[in-house]
Each structure stands twice: as structure tokens, then as C-alpha cells.
Amino acid sequence: MAEPGATLLARLAAAVGPSHVLTAPADLAPWLTDWRGRYTGRALALVRPGSTAEVAAVVAACREHGVPIVPQGGNTSMCGAATPDTSGNALLLSLGRMHRVRAIDSANATLTVEAGVTLAAAQDAARAQDMLFPLSLASEGSATVGGVLSTNAGGTAVLRYGNARELVLGLEVVLADGRVWDGLRGLRKDNTGYDLKQLFVGAEGTLGIVTAAVLKLFPAPRSQATAFVAVPDPAAAVALLGGLRGRLADRLTGFELIGALPLALCRKHHPALPDPLPGHAWYVLVQADDGAQDAPTAADLEAALGAAAERGLVADATIAQSQAQAAALWALRENISEGQRREGPNVKHDISLPVSAIPRFLDEAAHSLRAALPGVRFVTFGHLGDGNLHYNLSAPEREDATAFMANAPAANRIVHDLVAAHGGSISAEHGIGQLKRDELARYKSALELELMRRVKDALDPQGLMNPGKVL
Ligand code: MLT
Ligand code: ZN
């Protein structure tokens, strides 16, 4: 095996062009720290291939030199999945130059894009054809299609449209041996053996590098309704979810729970945002959409909320009267994460549970955490409609946020043990990355871990694809 270093860099420069192999510390710096600022790694170089063939050439060269590769999309991982370790041995491979829309097939309702297309650009491409690509999340301006598929991202419309996994029909992947698998099929039915594309979805780049995808499109919504609802407690929110589902069926697109503290943090750091229903402990943001022309979603939502109020499930509610008002209500939800980040570090959890178990989980977890960490503050919000909560913990008032992070292992144990006891998951939508690798080893069964390792060994026998992530 040749020594990594000068020979490899020369070969990479020949493959992608010298201006796309960056080694100056200042050029690399923005890509070596994750969005949350939790991990900072080092890299041999940052390489920016502009085509699938160039990605394949980079992978082949790295394979010969035994150099690991960390693929990176928009660098918005919540778990450090796209940040190299501190050894400086790995090559950071950005898909950012692969941002072409390759095809849009309206009759087939599919969009074929390269991995570096941002989620927002994919949505725009669909909108230009009067269609919808429904995957939506706060970082969509930076997050890329390759990244959201590699983490099986969720977001705020999973209730109706599913996770990234449900929204992909085909993939193109550069395998660890440098070959290109062309699985760019746009078929809704294809029973020809194992569904290989799904192996790469959620694999966080540990099995190969996603370079392009065929995505599912849907009819663009014709009428939309957004409501901000104060509820007495999470149990009422769960009951409200059932009530709205019964009346709105699949027109219910989003059902987001927001605690008073995350709302306050969001508004503290985004003071221009409204405070629609002050003084309550819990809120739900409801989104309902209809693809049919002139469908009366807003009236339906109002009637459904009225019926829920009669059952004591709604304390107060406001329905957006314009798109601008709807956008402002959504901004209250989508800027929570950013508000938290500006406030300082906190112990984050991205858990899922059966929706029915959530009220009890919240009671039990709060009881145990208060006993272990007196004064702990709960920054609870998330996708209640999907059973997915961001159950984050902040330092007690007037205590140092950074010092509080020393409690993370103890807090994780309490939260994740309880999640496991309720049949839940320790990572609903953010993935594993490096943040939850040890937690995964603790909570997955030995058999599941063995099967995952066998898949990894089969597809990446040298262990060069995003090492140290997931497994
Ligand atoms: C969200 O739902 O806002 C995102 O998953 C981000 C987060 O959990 O911080
Ligand atoms: Zn989320």
C-alpha cells in the first residue's frame, strides 16, 4: 500500500482539478466543525468532486492508499455524522458541487437530483412543476438531498408523507470499491429481490456515497391551514391528535408539540416573532393541507378544534389568516433549535415512542431527572404526530450551561433507559453519527448489531467509509 500524502493528493488533483483539492487550514476550517459546535476534526484535505465519475475516482484512489473518507453534504448533522475524527487521516469529501437537477418527470411524479442539491432547491424544482416534494425541516436551506437520505431525515411533514426513506424511489451510489451502482429507477413497484437502496438510506455514508436520487413528488396543496393551539398538557395534545385525525384524515400534515420553555428561548433569540397565546405551558402547531381545488381545510380545522375545545382538550387557539401569519407561526417552531443553540449547550435527545406512551414517559422522565439533577429545565418540543420528541435538558437557572454538560451521561441513561422500557428509539430522526454510537451499542440487540456489522463488512471490508460513525 502506498503512503497517503503527496501521491494521493496529486492523484486527487488530477481527478477533480487542483482547485477542488483544498489543504489550507482556513479553507478546511468551516467544514471541520459540526453545526452544533460539538465536534471539531481534522482532515488530510477537502475534495470537491463535480460528478459521479469524479467521486468514483476519488474513492478508488483512497481505497488504494487506505485513506478513509468522510462524505459531507450541508454539514447540518445533529450527531457529528459528517465531521472527521481528530487524527487528520481522513479525506473530507464534499458533495456541494454536485447540485444539478437531472430530470423531472411530471407524469411519473418524480424528481431526479444530485446529492448536493439542497432540500430547499429540490422543493423549488418540484414547485416549478406545480408539484410538492414534502420533506421539510428547519435546515432545508443548507441540508442536501444526499445528507437527508443518508440520515433518513424526518422533519415536520412525516405524519402525512413519511421520512426520507419513504420519499425515495432510486439511488445512485459510489460503492466503497469505487464502482458506481446505478439504481436510479423511478418505480413505485419493483419486487426484484432485496431493496438495496434502503441499505444506503440512513447509513450515514458508512456503506457508500449517495451521489444522486429519484425522489417522489406529490400534488401541490391547494388549500392550507395552520393553527397554534394552547393545550392543558401532553395527554390533551395526544387526545387532540386523535380527534384531528378522525376529522381531517390524511389532510393532517403536521402536529408539533412545543413546551413553554422552548417557545420562550426561540422568542428570546428571535424577538421579532409573535407571541400568539401567552401564558400557557404547552402548545401544538397544527398544519392541514388539501390537494383538491377550493377544499375548505381552514373551516374543517376550525370545526375540529371547536369540537376538541368542548372536550376540554384545547385551552385557546388561533388560526392563521394569511400565508404570512402561517409562516410566522411556523417560524416559532422552526427557530427553536437555533434559539437553543444561541442560548448555550444543552443535553439533546431525539427519541421516539408510541404516541400513546408519551404522556406517561414525560411524567416518569421528569420525576427521575428532577431527582437526579435538581433544577433541571425541560426544553421539550417535536413531532408529536410521529411520536418523536426533542427532549432536551438545560442547566438550572443561573447555572453554567457548559458545566451542566458533565451531566449528559447520567441524563442519557435515565432518558434512554426509560425510552427503551416504553419500546421506543434513542434516535428518531437525527441518526447516530458519533454522538450516539455508544448508546446504539448499548440499546440495539446483539443480533441486530451483528447483522449491521455483517452488512458493513460486506460493503466496506476495508472500513474506509465514514469510519467511527454508527458502528
Ligand atoms: C427540529 O425538529 O427542529 C430538528 O430536528 C432540530 C432539533 O431537534 O434541534
Ligand atoms: Zn426534529
Residue 25 CA, ligand 1 centroid: distance in Å: 30
- Tell me the whole-structure pTM to 2 decimals: 0.95
Q: Where are the domains of the chain?
A: 4-94, 101-219, 223-337, 344-435
Dihedrals phi, psi of 180, to nearest 5 degrees: -105, 125
* Pocket lining for ligand 1, CB < 6 angstroms: 138, 336-337, 382, 390
Q: Are 223-337 and 344-435 the same fold in CATH? A: yes
pLDDT of residue 381: 98
Domain 344-435: give its CATH code. Answer: 3.30.70.2740
3-state helix, strand, coil in the chain (%, to 5): 40, 20, 40
Which protein residue's CA is at the shortest distance from atom 7 of ligand 1?
337
Pocket test of ligand 1: the residue of 137, 269, 341, 429 to mutate, having most ligand atoms within 8 Å of its CB, is 137
Tell which one of 38, 77, 263, 336 to mutate to probe ligand 1, the residue whose CB is within 8 A of the most ligand atoms.
336
Cell matching residue 252: 393532517
Atom index in ligand 1 nearest the CA of residue 256 equals 2
Report the separation in Å between the CA atom of 333 and the middle of ligand 1, taken as the mean of its atom positions. Answer: 9
Cell digits of residue 328: 410566522
Q: Which CATH architecture has domain 101-219?
A: 2-Layer Sandwich (3.30)
Q: How far is the CA of 390 from the centre of ligand 1 (A)?
A: 7
In degrees, to the nearest 5, what angle opens at C-alpha 52 toward C-alphas 63 and 199? 70
Residue keyed to cell 464534499 = 94
- Report H helices in 77-171: 119-128, 145-150, 158-161
Mutation test residue for ligand 1: of 158, 340, 350, 389, the one with most atoms within 8 Å of CB:
350
Separation of 52 CA from ligand 2 center, angstroms?
30
Cα distances (angstroms) measured from residue 99 to each of 72, 121, 203? 13, 9, 21
The atom number, within ligand 1, closest to the CA of 350 reads 8
> CATH number of the domain at 223-337, please?
3.30.70.2190
Rounded Cα–Cα distance for residues 178 and 58 (Å): 8
Residue whose C-alpha is closest to residue 311's, from 393, 235, 411: 235
Output the pLDDT for position 296. 81
At residue 273, the 3 state secondary structure works out as coil
- Return the H-helix or E-strand segment holding 286: strand 282-290
Q: Whose CA is nearest to atom 8 of ligand 1?
A: 390
* pLDDT tens by residue, 392-407: 999 999 999 999 999 9
Q: What's the CA gap between 23 and 47, in Å, rounded? A: 9
What pLDDT shows up at residue 293?
Answer: 73
CA of 167 to the centre of ligand 2 (A): 17
The atom number, within ligand 1, closest to the CA of 383 reads: 2
Q: What is the position in ligand 1's atom list of the atom closest to the CA of 155?
A: 2
Nearest ligand 1 atom, CA 390: 8
| Residue pair 280/315 in contact by the 8 Å Cβ criterion | yes
CA of 44 to the centre of ligand 2 (A): 32
In the reported structure, the alpha carbon of residue 178 is separated from the centroid of ligand 2 by a whole-number distance in angstroms of 34
Report the side by side order of strands in the sheet with 223-231: 316-319, 223-231, 282-290, 252-259, 377-383, 388-394, 350-352
Residue among 240, 184, 422, 229 at smallest CA distance from 329: 229
* Per-residue model confidence (pLDDT) at position 420: 98
Predicted pLDDT at 22: 98
Question: Distance between the two ends of the chain, CA-based, in angstroms?
Answer: 26
Domain 4-94 has CATH 3.30.43.10: yes
Residue-level pLDDT at 4: 52
Rounded to the nearest angstrom, the distance between the alpha carbon of 14 and the centre of ligand 2 is 41
Q: Which of 34, 78, 391 to mutate to test the pocket of ligand 1 (most atoms within 8 A of CB)?
A: 78
What does each of the 471 residues of the chain score in pLDDT, given as a tens digit? 445 578 999 999 999 999 999 999 999 999 999 999 999 999 999 999 999 999 999 999 999 999 999 999 999 999 999 999 999 999 999 999 999 999 999 999 999 999 999 999 999 999 999 999 999 999 999 999 999 999 999 999 999 999 999 999 999 999 999 999 999 999 999 999 999 999 999 999 999 999 999 999 999 999 999 999 999 999 999 999 999 999 999 999 999 999 999 999 999 999 999 999 999 999 999 999 987 777 788 999 999 999 999 999 999 999 999 999 999 999 999 999 999 999 989 999 999 999 999 999 999 999 999 999 999 999 999 999 999 999 999 999 999 999 999 999 999 999 999 999 999 999 999 999 999 999 999 999 999 999 999 999 999 999 999 999 999
Do you know the residue count of the chain? 471
How much distance in Å is there from the Cα of 54 to the middle of ligand 2?
Answer: 33
